[in-house]
Structure 1
Amino acid sequence: MTPVETRTLLAEHTTLHLGGPARRFVVAETTEDLLGAVRADGRVLLLGGGSNLVVGDAGFDGTVVKIATRGWRIDGESVEVAAGQNWDEFVAAMVEAGFGGLECLSGIPGSVGATPIQNVGAYGCEVADLLISVEHYDRRTGEVRTLSAADLGFAYRTSVLKGTDSGIVLDVRFRLRPDGLSAPIRYAELARTLGVELGARVPAADAREAVLDLRRGKGMVLDAGDHDTWSAGSFFTNPIVPESELDGVLARIAQVVDTPAPQYPAEGGVKLSAAWLIERAGFHKGHQGPGGRVSLSTKHTLALTNRGAASTADLLALAKEVRDGVEAKFGVTLHPEPLLINCSL
């Protein structure tokens, strides 16, 4: 474990490049160091790749533990991965080794241990489709337990682990496809890019490259020189409207917009497109927030970006403007996808 640092700016450790100082900051490179660090201080913030965090300008008055455990072990048709392992490096290695299943989650920033917490998903695939189990440390009992996918209560962009600091993911086990082919292609845009029908399977390497190309076009592959990638990815989740409320919501949308709102089946209701709602509420790509220091990405409406000199307060002001504008026009409330630390929307 690295020596304890004090007053480390968290902006140096998040993909938004935002966040004030941590009272204490340590890097844990082994599971033993990680457990020791979280046992040493009652108020702990776990940090992986920093891609799904919005940290307040005042920072965090506690211990920030950077999880830097790395590596994986393949066991037949499954693989166990350390929580601090960079996600996309791991996905790339699995594809190169001839395994399929993870390719549609290529290019997502962050660490492996963070992926089950919010049930990371993209291009028709989500972690819940592939996860077998996690090794989980419960800070309340001091026990390390194996939690199955069923134990994690997966739903759209969430799990029972989200929004709590009572437990820590130490390792994650995924199932793999040994034939080197992708999971069935479920996302229409990806199918068009690959030139295949929905449900087709293609070489995992082909699917990975197509996904990376699509993500680059939306500013969703990290590039320090491109402020469109200074973001937390999609800032708002796609809203799920209960069936009982759907007719009323669609009627209100139809009063404002001529074209029908895109709809997708979802557990508990119907999922609408947050990007579609944001754009039709008058917020277009590049829409600027306070002083032009933040804006919607010029490539993707769902990404709120730091243009280089922003504060977290600037970002939240833009997020509030967009959220309130969509609610005023359509009566639909958007909810943030990243975790808000010492700040609120």
Structure 2
Amino acid sequence: MTDSIPALSELTTLHVGGVPAAFIAPETEAELVEVARELWSRGEPWLILGGGSNTVAPDDGFEGTVLRVMTRGIERLEAPAGEVRLRVQAGEPWDYLVSVAVDNGWAGIETLSGIPGSTGAVPVQNVGAYGQEAASVLVAVDVLDAESLETRRLEASELALGYRDSIFKHGYEGLITAVELRLTQAGPDASAEGAPIAYSQLAAALGVELGARASLAATRDAVIALRRSKGMVLDPSDPDTFSAGSFFTNPIVPEPFARALPGDGPRWPVADQPTHGPVLVKLSAAWLIEHSGIGRGFALPGSRAAVSSKHTLALTNRGGATAREIVQLATFIQARVSNDFGINLQPEPVIL
């Protein structure tokens, strides 16, 4: 718990946001549940905040209580031979969990290295990168239901996990208190090989053929290097890293619509296809932004928010930017892409 009230700019990777009316940071699961129950029973405005890496906080602060999840702990559960089951507290930093898994030869999340934020936020977004996503290893989550105020276990099959999507983004209100994962015991340590590399950029960085295998350690190092080259690893000396990561999701459109776009635009097949209607494909939001005339480093006149100089998909705080400036830039980009391609880019972070 804490009596001080930090500004949201101190708690988010975009470094924007004013001071909330109240702030609580429980450090145990029991305390977290107790505090959340009390908040919800009073019916006051509340905001759950983890690592703050996927949030655009308002300049005027928040007229309610910010509940920051600080609970930590990694518990190994009983599992069949060759399998590793983990129950991870929601406040455990995600990248620390990945590092523990790699060091112990546990495969399944190595390409999700370097992603900021807390473990409890991972199922909300169904976080994915370089060929892996949370849905492939997620068993269940423990949640405190905001309506019943009771704790319950939700199996992964109940979460409607999709591309950067889950029930938590479609009206279900609950606080994730712990996450259960199923990993593979690939070997005794980080020298063990993980799954076949399924992403061409990562394969190139590792110097292997697509579909080949690499050690967990080498894969983690390569992923972090790739993320660093895109300004996606926090560096206090580099304003390109003051971002919420990729600001827009890659749009999914009907294949006939994609055929009408310029032929050199990247497109990828979508795993979960509808039972009726046209085939769906995923487009590159970064390509759409660049080909609408917005390049790296672009900023609106007088604004302190800018597109990253390393990665077109990231919007950055160049120093003293406000949330309003971030949103203005995002809105401008959406309008340009919509005008040029008829596609409405959807923001990935939560804009409060």
TM-score, normalising length: structure 2: 0.91
Match of 1:127 in 2: 134
Work out the CA distance in 2 between the residues paired with 1:335 and 1:186: 25
Deviation at 1:176, TM superposition (A): 1.3
> Structure 1: how far apart are the matches of 2:151 and 2:60?
33
**2:32 paired residue number:** 34
Q: Report if the CA contact (8 A) 1:45-1:165 is conserved.
A: no
Larger deviation: 159-168 or 262-271? 159-168
Instruction: Give, in angstroms, the shift of residue 249 of structure 1.
Output: 4.5
Name the residue aligned to 1:65.
67
SS of the residue aligned with 1:22?
coil
Aligned to 2:268: 264
State yes or no: 1:24 paired with 2:22.
yes
Q: Aligned to 2:151, which of 109, 123, 144?
A: 144
Residue 68 of structure 1 aligns with an amino acid whose one-letter code is M
Amino acid at match of 2:216: A
Q: Once the two structures are superposed, what CA deviation does each residue of 1:217-274 show, in whole Å capped at 9, x if it has no partner?
A: 00001112210000000000000002xxx334532x33xxxx5211111134110000
Q: Which residue of 1 aligns with 2:324?
A: 313
Residue 281 (structure 1) shift: 0.5
Distance in 2 (CA, whole Å) between partners of 1:72 and 1:290 is 47
The alignment-based identity, stated in percent, is 48
Q: 2:341 aligns with which of 320, 330, 334?
A: 330
Match of 2:238 among 209, 223, 226: 226
Match in the other structure for 1:199: 211
> Could you tell me whether the CA contact under 8 Å between 1:21 and 1:58 is conserved in 2?
yes
Alignment partner, residue 56 of structure 2: 54
| Length-normalised TM-score, structure 1 | 0.93
Quick one: distance in 2 between partners of 1:2 and 1:162? 29
Question: Could you tell me which of 294, 297, 300 is aligned with 1:283?
Answer: 294
CA contact (8 A) 2:258 2:281 kept: no
* Structure 1 residue 247 corresponds to structure 2 residue 262: no
Match of 2:180 in 1: 173
Residue equivalent to 1:15: 13
Q: CA–CA distance in 2 between the matches of 1:183 and 1:150?
A: 23
Secondary structure in structure 2 of the residue aligned to 1:241: strand
Of 214, 237, 252, the match for 2:226: 214
Runs of 5+ unmatched residues, structure 1: none
Q: Distance in 1 between matches of 2:104 and 2:142?
A: 24
1:86 has 2:128 as partner = no
* Distance in 1 of aligned mates of 2:86 and 2:240: 33
Change in Cα spacing, 1:239 to 1:135, as seen in structure 2 (3 Å) is: same
Count of aligned pairs: 331
Amino acid at match of 2:209: E
Name the Cα RMSD after superposition: 1.4
Q: How does 1:98-117 map to 2 (within 5 A)?
A: 98-117=105-124
Question: C-alpha separation between the residues in 1 aligned to 2:298 and 2:35?
Answer: 42
Is contact 1:84-1:113 (8 Å) kept?
yes
Letter in 2 for 1:300: H
Secondary structure of the residue that 2:245 maps to in structure 1? Answer: coil
Determine the C-alpha separation between the residues in 1 that align with 2:182 and 2:212.
20
Code of the residue aligned with 2:36 in structure 1: it is V
Give 3-state SS (helix, strand or coil) of 2:198's partner: coil
Match of 1:216, SS state, is: helix
Match for 1:123: what amino acid? Y
Letter of the structure 2 residue corresponding to residue 108 of structure 1: I
- SS across alignment from 2:125: coil
In the TM superposition, residue 165 of structure 1 has moved relative to its aligned partner by 6.7
Q: Distance in 2 between matches of 1:321 and 1:102?
A: 35
C-alpha offsets along residues 83-120 of structure 1, whole Å, 9 cap, x if unaligned?
Answer: 00011111111111221111100000000000000101
Counterpart residue identity of residue 213, structure 1: A
| Deviating 4+ runs (over 4 angstroms) | none
Which sections of structure 2, spanning at least 5 residues, go unmatched? 187-191, 274-279
CA contact (8 A) 2:198 2:211 kept: yes
- TM superposition shift of 1:11: 0.6
Contact 1:292–1:307 (CA under 8 A) maintained in structure 2: no
